[in-house]
Amino acid sequence: MKRFTLLITLLVLTALMVACGGAPATEAPAATEAPVVEEAPTEAPAPTEAPTEAPAPTEAPAPTEEPAATEAPAEEPAAEGSFLERAIAGEYAGTKVNLMGVMVEQDGEKMEAAVAPFEELTGIDVVYEGTKEFETAINVRVDAGDAPDIANISQPAMAARFAADGALVDVSSFIPMEKLQENYIDSWLQMATMPGPDGEDIMSGVWHRASVKSMVFYPKAKFDEAGYVVPETWDEMLALTQQIADDGDTAWCIGIESGAATGWVATDWIENIMLRTTSLENYDAWVAGELPFSSPEVKNAWEKMSEIWLNPDYVMGGVDSILSTFIGDSPVPMFTDPPGCWFHAQAPWIVDFFGKDDLVAGVDYDFFYLPPIDEQYGRPVLGAGDLMVMFNDRPEVRALMEFFSTPAGVEEWVKLGGTLSPHKGANIDWYPTDTDKKVAQLLLDATSIRFDASDLMPAEVGAGTFWSGSVDYLSGEDLDTVLAEIDASWPK
C-alpha cells in the first residue's frame, strides 16, 4: 500500500512540475526536483540518423554538418523534466537495467527492496546480481567489455581506476551539479570527483549508502549513576579520562589484535585525529602520498593518540593489553559490575560484540561523537560509503542513477535497518530505532566526510606498513623511525 501511495504522490508531483515549472518540497523524493536537462539528446546512445546520412559530400563539405541541428533530436524525443521524471512518466517502461554489487543474502534482499519503488514507478526492470567475489568479477567483466550498467563499489580506489581508464560515464553530464549539491554536502562530491582518461576530473558516480567510524560507546546506565557527563570537546574528554583515573578506574578499553589485520584500530584513531587537527587538503594529500607520514601534521596525530594510548592510567591493561586483546573482546569489560572500563571507540557494528544479549540501547549503553579538537575543522566524520558508478549510457540507466542520487534511492533499505543515507534530504524518521536515528543525525550534522585513509592508500602502505608500523610503535619502536619506514614503503 505504501508503494502505491508513493506512486500516486510522485505522479501528481510530476504533473504539477510540468504544469507549473515548480519544485516539490524537500520531503518528497528528491528525484522530482531535478531541472530540465536541455542537452541530454547530445548524450543519448548513438542516433541512427547521424549526420553521416546527410547529402553526399560531393555537393559541399560544409553543409554535411548542417542537418545535425535539426535531425539529431529525432532520436531523443523532446520532453520536459529530468531522465527520472521522464521514466516516471513511462517513457522508458519495458527496458532493463543491470546492477551488480557485493551485497548477497539479506543485504542482497535489501538492495532489491531499495530499487523496487523505482521499478513500480517507471516500469523499468532492475536486475540485481550480488556476488561475494565482486572485486574479481567486476574487473573481469569490464576487461571483457561486458560491464554491468551500474555497479555498487565500496572502494573508491577501484572506482578511480575505472574512471582513469575511461570506463565510467561522467554523472555530472546528465545530473546538473547544482542538483547534486542539493542532495550531498561538498565532501561526498569531492570524494566522487576523480580524474578521467584525459586527466580532467569527472563525477565518477553517486553515493548510495554510508557508515560512520567517529563514535565512542559507553555503559550509559553505570555512567549516569557515576555522575559523569558526556564530553563535547576533546579537552573535556581528556579531563573526564583523568577524572575516571582519579576515581581509581581506567577510562578506555582498547584492543587491536586481529590476525593479519592487526593494527587497523590504531590507524582509525590517527585518521580521526587528522581530520580534527588539519585541513581536508592535507588529509587528501596524505592519502595520495603527497604529505609524508613524517610531516608535522601526521606526526602530531600519532602523538595526540599517544596521550591516551600510552598512558597506563587511561587504558585498561596498558599497552600490553592493547596489543594482545582481540578487537571483538575489547568492549566487553564495559559491562562488568563495576565496569572495567568506560569508553570504547568504534563503528556501530561493535555492539554485536558487547557480550550480552539483554543490553538495551539508550539505556544500558549509548555513544557520543568523538569530539572535535580544533574548532576551525568543524565536526568531521570518518566513514565509508557505497558509490554507484555507471558503465553503460542509456536513458533508463541515467534514470536509475538519478534515483540513487536522491534519498528515495535508499529509503527502503534505511527503513529495514543496517545502513545510513548520505543524502541531505533523508528523513530521520525512516530509521527504525532511536540508536539508528542518532547515528544518522551524527552523519547529517557532519561538516565534512572522509574515507578511512588506510583503505585508500596503496595496499603495501594502507594495509601494510601503516598497520604494522602502528604495532611496532606500540611495541616500543621510536616514532620517527616508524614514520620514516612507512614513507619508505610508498610505491615509487
Mean pLDDT split into 10-residue runs, the chain, 492 residues: 39 36 36 37 38 39 39 46 96 98 94 97 98 94 96 92 97 96 95 94 96 96 97 98 97 96 96 98 96 98 98 96 96 96 95 92 96 96 95 98 97 94 95 93 94 92 96 97 97 88
Which three three-digit cell numbers place residue 207? 553515493
Residue 373 burial (CB count, 10 A): 21
Do 17 and 153 belong to one domain?
Answer: yes
Residue 96, in any domain of the structure: yes
Task: Give pLDDT, residue 79.
Answer: 56
The pairing of beta strand 205-212 with beta strand 380-390: antiparallel
**All 3 cell numbers of residue 336?**
562488568
Output the pLDDT for position 492.
83
Residue 133 gets which letter from DSSP? T
Q: Are residues 220 and 301 in the same domain?
A: yes
Rounded Cα distance, 256 and 263, in Å:
6
Residue 65: inside a domain: no
Can you tell me the distance from the alpha carbon of 450 to that of 468, in angstroms, rounded to the nearest whole number? 22
445 located within any domain: no
Give the total number of structural domains in the chain.
Answer: 2
| pLDDT for the residue numbered 455 | 87
Q: Which domain holds residue 370?
A: 215-377+451-488
Residue 459 is placed in which grid cell? 595496499
Q: Do 38 and 134 sit in the same domain of this protein? A: yes
DSSP letter string, 400-448: HHHHHTSTHHHHHHHHHSS-B--STT--GGGSSSHHHHHHHHHHHH-SE
Residues pairing with 152 in the sheet: 388
- Could you tell me if 240 and 196 lie in one domain? no
Same domain as 369, residue 327: yes
C-alpha–C-alpha distance, residues 458 and 489, integer Å? 10
Q: 306 with 388, same domain? A: no
Cβ partners under 8 Å of residue 480, min gap 6: 294, 299
300 and 336 belong to one structural domain: yes
If asked whether residues 325 and 459 sit together in one domain, one would say yes
Same domain as 319, residue 170: no
Spatial CB neighbours of 191, under 8 Å, sequence gap ≥ 6: 156, 207, 385, 449, 450, 451
Is residue 59 one of the residues assigned to a domain?
Answer: no
Q: 403, 264, 241: which is closest to 310 by C-alpha?
A: 241
Are 284 and 390 found together in one domain?
no
The reply to whether 243 falls in a domain is yes
Cβ 244 vs Cβ 342: under 8 Å: yes
- For residue 107, what is the enclosing H or E element? helix 105-122
Assess if residue 135 is contained within a domain.
yes
CATH number of the domain residue 412 falls in: 3.40.190.10
Provide CB contacts within 8 A for 237, sequence distance 6+: 216, 231, 371
31 contacts 6 by C-beta, under 8 angstroms: no
Instruction: Report yes or no on 67 lying in a domain.
Output: no
What is the predicted pLDDT for the residue at 418? Answer: 84
112-126 CB burial, b ≥16 within 10 A, e <16: bebbebbeebbbbeb
